């Protein structure tokens, strides 16, 4: 039987299990990437595993998130990361090189290879036909130590593209359409594989926008074929020798198919506070806009900056709009400077921000109170971009640029017609500026490297093995689609604490309930109860490590998002799902729950007694037998160390 693109790549990397949907598969990871906000934890764990040199073909450590450096903490982290990279055989990409996913796409991603990254948008490299998966730091540390990555085999959905995009409609609208159709839960347990005759009309940066934001559907990853378009991108990056053709066989079988006619798409917008609250821009046209942000790993390529410049050329921003851009990489800045796009943006009044995650993750450039902020980023979760009252709308670069000029949300097709602006078309330069001089190679004398740790880098808190029973109060009950930005917020005040679990734990659930931290400690820990898709969003394992530090023992919900579920297991927190979702209604914050260790099984029903109401709640744990052992051992680090003895 023929194979899909995903199956071809996975089959070549399968080291354990069978590729039957839902059953655990072990995948050999060729490449790893980390970024600084998750990287310090990942490398502390890597050090604790005790391997002398990374085992992956290529490991890259990027600095792109914590760039404000308002005191010693972020620079200390960066220095720690650089020392670790030098010592253990990792390429270091320092602050200023750009956003990890954009830079990886330009310089390191290779068709047919596998990549695991401690960032949920690692699937960006799927635009270059990689199986690229986001994971918690510990899973990346284990991959660096040569362990396979184990995950349930996903179902494979074909997103069949026909036609081609109309003027002023772009790749962001494709992924917003996918989100509109399948929602922020629709990709869980799936790979979204793009195919069909429309694929060839999309450039590599277009494809990367789509695979990047596939993360918002909850998908394990997204992938495009490797074709002549891929080859052209690699040629421009002086890496054509790394091209291999990877296309699905004619008789490949998919678990299901989504059909999208690119020609029929129109500019779309995702409203606060979820990326799937998608409507056509024209339905909200006229909404006054306070702020516009161009950039993020979703839309910061040369193509995107050029599209913005095309609309802005010879015009100035509306006086009511504050606009900024974070270009994706040094290469993008150099190209945009050379080609004139950068000057156009400056002339129109756009603020040139650093090449970093920046405003996407609330590191500056927050919206005003109740302000409307149009952003080309991928997430608009409550509080993510600086504070709770900011209303972030997710749009394409074209919608953002036209609206920045108009002062209100506008369909760029209407704007262009009125202003007499011709359609934008982008052709990738034959040869891009290649300058790898700021990638810092690992030391060839690792024994001479001493790792410097600033005072904010706290040792990993130990986690105890599970006792005979779990009991405690429900510390908090939350609803559906709770994100890791709710559980463990980021932003300029909290991100600098990423290397210090006791310090960052003070902010757990802060946007939902300011008393959570004190209550959890006062009660000696307990349970969390939630709805569907609990833990969607980022890969930050701090959303599991910090609650664990506060004594959270189990999380009982209707369903989990993939990466957070794995992070809970890795931190020794028991994930439970209701067998009957209506039981959710009968539990309240403050109820006392209890369950026995001896009742835990990866397949059977687990009885949780609500000691306050007397009810027995039937649950199961959505993890494998191995994962259950990990939880009983008090997390994966304990488990790995015990196996090594």
Q: Mask 472-491, x = binds ligand MIC (CB under 6 A)?
A: ------------------x-
Contacted entry of ligand MIC, ligand SF4, none for residue 127, CB cut-off 5 to 8 Å set by kind = none
The residue among 57, 233, 10, 49 whose CA lies nearest residue 137 is 49
Find which of ligand SF4, ligand MIC, none residue 124 binds, CB within 5 to 8 Å per kind. Answer: none
Q: Which residue numbers are catalytic?
A: 64-65, 119, 379, 538, 540
Q: Which long-range contacts (CB under 8 A, 24 or more apart) does 363-370 make?
A: 363/65, 363/66, 363/67, 363/68, 363/491, 363/492, 363/495, 364/68, 364/492, 365/291, 365/293, 365/324, 366/390, 367/290, 367/291, 367/391, 367/392, 368/290, 368/291
**CA pair distance 487, 611, nearest whole angstrom:** 26
From the centroid of its chain, how far is CA 167?
29
In the complex, the smallest distance separating the C-beta of residue 267 from ligand MIC, rounded to whole angstroms, is 23
Interacting residues with ligand MIC between 105 and 164 (CB under 6 A): 119-121, 134
Residue 99 binding target from ligand SF4, ligand MIC, none, CB below 5 to 8 Å by type? ligand SF4
> By the 8 A CB rule, do 190 and 219 touch?
yes
Nearest to 396 by CA among 538, 290, 292: 292
Q: Which stretch binds ligand SF4 (CB under 6 A): 3-11, 268-276, 356-364, 611-619?
A: 356-364
Taking CB within 5 to 8 Å according to partner kind, which of ligand MIC, ligand SF4, none is near residue 191? none
**Residue of 590, 597, 539, 593 whose CA lies nearest to 572:** 597
For ligand MIC, which is the closer residue by CB, 317 or 545? 545
Among 32, 203, 296, 348, binds ligand SF4 (CB under 6 A): 296
Partner touching 190 among ligand SF4, ligand MIC, none, CB below 5 to 8 Å by kind: none
Task: For the CB of residue 353, give the shortest distance to ligand SF4 in the complex, in Å.
Answer: 12
Contacts 24+ apart (CB under 8 A), 8-11: 8/112, 8/246, 8/248, 9/112, 9/113, 9/114, 9/129, 9/130, 9/131, 9/223, 9/246, 10/131
- The answer for residues whose C-beta is within 8 angstroms of residue 491's C-beta and 6 or more apart is 361, 362, 363, 383, 384, 386
By the rule CB under 6 A, 37 interacts with ligand MIC: yes
Among 138, 188, 265, 297, binds ligand SF4 (CB under 6 A): 297
Minimal distance, residue 133 CB to ligand SF4, in Å: 15
> Does 67 sit near ligand MIC (CB under 6 A)?
no
The site partner of 539 among ligand SF4, ligand MIC, none (C-beta below 5 to 8 Å per kind) is ligand MIC
Residue 334, phi-psi category: left (phi > 0), alpha (psi -120 to 50), beta (remainder) = alpha
Residues in Cβ contact with 203 at an 8 Å cutoff, skipping those fewer than 6 apart = 229, 233, 303, 426, 428
Per DSSP (E only), the strands in 337-483 are 351-352, 372-375, 391-394, 469-477
- Choose among ligand MIC, ligand SF4, none what residue 399 binds, the Cβ cut-off being 5 to 8 Å by kind: none
Binding-site member from 4, 32, 38, 170 for ligand MIC (CB under 6 A): 38
Residues in the chain: 645
Site residues (CB under 6 A) for ligand SF4, limited to 39-98: 65
Of the candidate spans 144-152, 264-272, 357-365, 432-440, the one that interacts with ligand SF4 by CB under 6 A turns out to be 357-365
357 lies in the binding site for ligand SF4 (CB under 6 A):
yes
Residue 70 CB, shortest distance to ligand MIC, in Å, is 18
β-pairing verdict for 606-610 and 114-117:
unpaired
Number of residues that bind ligand MIC (CB under 6 A): 13
Q: Is 538 in the site for ligand MIC (CB under 6 A)?
A: yes
Nearer to ligand SF4, 121 or 160 (CB): 121
Cis peptide preceding 295, ω within 30 of 0: no
Under the rule (CB under 6 A), what is the footprint of ligand SF4? 65, 99, 119, 121, 296-297, 357, 360-361, 377-378
Question: What is the binding site for ligand MIC (CB under 6 A)?
Answer: 37-38, 65, 119-121, 134, 361, 490, 537-540
């Amino acid at each position: 039987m023929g194979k899909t693109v995903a199956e071809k790549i996975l089959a070549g990397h399968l080291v354990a299990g069978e590729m039957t949907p839902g059953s655990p598969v072990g995948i050999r990871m060729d490449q790893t990437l980390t970024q600084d906000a998750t990287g310090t934890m990942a490398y502390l764990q890597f050090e604790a595993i005790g391997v002398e040199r990374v085992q992956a073909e290529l490991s890259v450590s990027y600095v792109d998130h914590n760039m404000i450096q308002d005191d010693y903490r972020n620079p200390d982290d960066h220095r720690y990361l650089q020392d670790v990279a030098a010592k253990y055989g990792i390429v270091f990409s320092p602050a200023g090189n750009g956003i990890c996913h954009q830079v990886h796409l330009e310089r390191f991603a290779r068709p047919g290879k596998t990549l695991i990254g401690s960032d949920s948008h690692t699937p960006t490299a799927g635009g270059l036909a990689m199986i690229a998966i986001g994971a918690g730091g510990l899973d990346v540390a284990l991959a660096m130590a040569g362990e396979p990555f184990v995950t349930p085999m996903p179902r494979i959905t074909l997103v069949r593209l026909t036609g081609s995009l109309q003027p002023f409609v772009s790749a962001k609208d494709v992924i917003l359409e996918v989100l509109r159709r399948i929602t922020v839960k629709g990709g869980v347990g799936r790979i979204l594989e793009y195919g069909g005759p429309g694929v060839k009309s999309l450039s590599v940066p277009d494809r990367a926008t789509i695979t990047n934001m596939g993360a918002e559907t909850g998908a394990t990853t997204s992938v495009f074929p490797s074709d002549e378009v891929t080859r052209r991108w690699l040629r421009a990056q002086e890496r054509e020798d790394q091209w291999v053709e990877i296309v699905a066989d004619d008789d490949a079988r998919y678990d299901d198919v989504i059909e999208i006619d690119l020609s029929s798409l129109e500019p779309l917008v995702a409203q606060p506070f979820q990326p799937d609250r998608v409507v056509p821009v024209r339905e909200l046209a006229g909404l006054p806009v306070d702020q516009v942000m161009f950039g993020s790993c979703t839309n910061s390529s040369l193509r995107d900056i050029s599209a913005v410049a095309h609309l802005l050329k010879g015009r100035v921003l509306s006086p009511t709009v504050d606009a900024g851009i974070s270009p994706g990489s040094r290469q993008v800045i150099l190209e945009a400077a050379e080609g004139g796009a950068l000057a156009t943006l400056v002339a129109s009044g756009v603020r040139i921000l650093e090449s970093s995650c920046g405003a996407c993750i609330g590191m500056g450039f927050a919206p005003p109170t109740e302000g409307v902020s149009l952003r080309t980023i991928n997430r608009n979760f409550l509080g993510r971009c600086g504070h709770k009252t900011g209303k972030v709308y997710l749009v394409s670069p074209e919608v953002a640029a036209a609206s920045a000029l108009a002062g209100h949300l506008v369909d760029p097709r209407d704007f262009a017609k009125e202003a007499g602006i011709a359609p934008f078309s982008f052709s990738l330069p034959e040869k891009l500026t290649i300058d790898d001089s700021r990638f810092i190679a690992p030391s060839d004398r690792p024994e001479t490297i001493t790792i410097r740790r600033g005072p904010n880098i706290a040792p990993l808190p130990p986690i105890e093995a599970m006792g005979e029973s779990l009991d405690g109060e429900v510390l908090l009950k939350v609803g559906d689609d709770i994100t890791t930005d709710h559980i463990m917020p980021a932003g300029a005040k909290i991100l600098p604490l990423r290397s210090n679990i006791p310090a960052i734990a003070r902010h757990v659930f802060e946007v939902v309930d300011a008393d959570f931290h004190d209550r959890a400690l006062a009660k000696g820990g307990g349970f969390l109860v939630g709805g569907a898709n609990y833990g969607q969003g980022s890969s930050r394992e701090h959303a599991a490590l910090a609650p664990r530090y506060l004594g959270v023992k189990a999380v009982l919900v209707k369903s989990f998002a993939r990466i957070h579920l794995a992070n809970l297991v890795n931190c020794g927190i028991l994930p439970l799902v209701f067998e009957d979702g209506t039981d959710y209604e009968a539990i309240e914050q403050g109820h006392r729950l209890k369950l026995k260790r001896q009742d835990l099984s990866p397949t059977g029903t687990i009885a949780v007694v609500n000691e306050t109401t007397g009810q027995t709640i039937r649950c199961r744990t959505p993890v494998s037998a191995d994962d259950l052992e990990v939880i009983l051992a008090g997390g994966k680090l304990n488990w790995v160390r015990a196996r090594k003895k």
